[in-house]
């Protein structure tokens, strides 16, 4: 348990160094990867065993530096992109539904027209026309 306490102490000291801009073992960015590098621990150890400290770091970055953590920026950009995609898909779906309705109506009109063909009306014969021979039956 003492080893885990040492890691937690290293992480807290690394937090302080990063937030004051005095990074010694990392690039100084305010990310979880830089925090892990600064603390000298593996990044996955920070995410798995010390998730509370990672969240604390993100909160301190937000409050002390008035910055939004990089991961949150990426998530917000992804959410905005996905919302736009969903809106586009909804519009396309509505357009397709309208097209299906129109095609169904057109099909019904065409089918109805073929099902009951009206016999052609006989051409009217003028009164002054006399046939050459009478029709044979």
pLDDT at 118 over 70: no
- Residue at token pair 């992109």: 81
pLDDT at 55 over 80: yes
Query: Using an 8 Å Cβ cutoff, are 41 and 26 in contact?
Result: no
Using only C-alpha atoms, what is the Rg of the chain?
A: 39
pLDDT at 116 over 70: no
Q: Which two tokens stand for residue 18?
A: 């990063």
Lowest model confidence (mean pLDDT) among 18-27, 72-81, 91-100: 18-27
CA-wise closest residue to 13 among 39, 33, 52, 34 = 39
Three-state SS sequence of 7-58: HHHHHHHHHHHHHHCCCCCCCCCCCHHHHHHHHCCCHHHHHHCCHHHHHHHH
The model's pTM is 0.51
Q: What is the DSSP letter of 68?
A: -
């Amino acid at each position: 348990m003492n080893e885990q306490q040492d890691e937690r102490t290293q992480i807290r000291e690394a937090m302080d160094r990063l937030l004051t801009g005095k990074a010694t073992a990392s690039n100084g960015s305010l990310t979880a990867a830089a925090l892990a590098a600064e603390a000298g621990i593996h990044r996955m150890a920070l995410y798995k065993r010390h998730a509370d400290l990672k969240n604390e770091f993100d909160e301190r970055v937000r409050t002390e530096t008035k910055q939004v953590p990089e991961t949150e920026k990426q998530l917000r950009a992804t959410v905005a992109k996905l919302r736009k995609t969903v809106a586009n898909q909804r519009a396309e779906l509505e357009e397709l539904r309208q097209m299906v309705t129109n095609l169904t109506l057109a099909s019904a009109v065409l089918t109805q027209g073929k099902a009951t063909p009206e016999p052609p009306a006989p051409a009217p014969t003028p009164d002054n026309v006399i046939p050459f021979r009478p029709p044979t039956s």
